[in-house]
Amino acid sequence: MVKRLTAGWLLAAVLVGGSAPVMAHEPPAPRPAASPLTAAPYLGVVKPAPDFALNDTDGRVVRLSELRGRVVLVSFVYTRCTTACPLLTARLALLHRRAQTLAPAARPVLLSITVDPAHDSAAELARYAARFDATGPTWRFLREEPTRLAPVLSAWDEWTRLAGNGEVDHPARIFLVDRAGRIREIYSLAFFDERQAWLDIRALLRD
């Protein structure tokens, strides 16, 4: 199983008329003690990041296009999840904490979008964010009413379906967006390593 879906791999899949495999909503695998990291990653352009305008937990509109000039990590979660989402959010929290060592203008912005808006009210998302100390302007949890969120999920190829155990199944991916608004990496949630994401972010800041 791949650790992340690289831009080159995705381009090759498109050229042969195929598509990249969608990772199911599965818990991240335990991180190996000596996980191989790439200090000088190749981060080709995958495609422009689809724009969106969603509300954060304070009711303020967040537009992706207004974050030009900042590196952005876009993830999809939901608060009732008991498996993958809390583990992913905990790893993002480690990354967010480490990013505070950068100058304010260089800090990446984390956007976590719910895939369960019918349940995840602004208050529910705020409580979820507080569990992971996800505070400050560089980590926002976003939602919209289901009919308005649906086009955003579709644009990001983020389908949802109710699993047999009552959980919501959805593609398990995290998108790295550069300062020009282009997707430069798509991580598989099952093997997401915040240490590699940190190296990738630093590479984009050097571009």
By C-alpha distance, which of 132, 120, 164, 131 is closest to 24?
164
- Per-residue pLDDT tens for 57-86? 999 999 999 999 999 999 999 999 888 888
Q: Domain coordinates of the chain in residue numbers?
A: 4-16+45-206
Task: Identify the helix (H) or strand (E) that includes residue 102.
Answer: none
Compute the average pLDDT of residues 174-201.
Answer: 93
Q: What pLDDT was estimated at residue 172?
A: 75
Confidence (pTM) = 0.83
Q: Is the confidence at residue 179, as pLDDT, over 90?
A: yes
Pairing outcome for strands 182-188 and 47-48: antiparallel
Average pLDDT over residues 170-192: 89
Each residue's pLDDT tens digit, 9-44: 333 332 333 333 334 565 555 555 556 898 888 899
Residue 113 or residue 3, greater confidence: 113
2 vs 156, which has greater pLDDT?
A: 156
CATH H superfamily, domain 4-16+45-206: Glutaredoxin (3.40.30.10)
Residue 190 burial (C-beta neighbours within 10 Å; 0-12, 13-18, 19+): buried
The confidence score (pLDDT) of residue 106 equals 97
Output the pLDDT for position 203: 96
Look over the chain and give the mean of its residue pLDDT values, rounded to a whole number: 84
Dig out the tokens for 84 from the structure.
Answer: 């993958």
**Hey, what are 126's tokens?**
């705020």
Percentage of the chain lying above the pLDDT 70 cut: 82
C-alpha neighbours within 13 Å on the C-beta side of residue 89: 27
- For the stretch 107-137, pLDDT in tens is 999 999 999 999 999 999 999 999 999 988 9
Higher per-residue confidence, 34 vs 2: 34
Instruction: Report whether pLDDT(206) > 70.
Output: yes
Confidence of residue 1 (pLDDT cuts 50, 70, 90): very low
Listed in sequence order, the residues at least 6 apart from 63 whose beta carbon sits closer than 8 Å to its beta carbon are 51, 52, 53
| Dist. CA 179–CA 207, nearest whole Å | 9
Contact in structure between 111 and 140 (CB atoms under 8 Å): yes
State how far the Cα of 140 lies from the Cα of 112, in Å rounded to an integer. 6
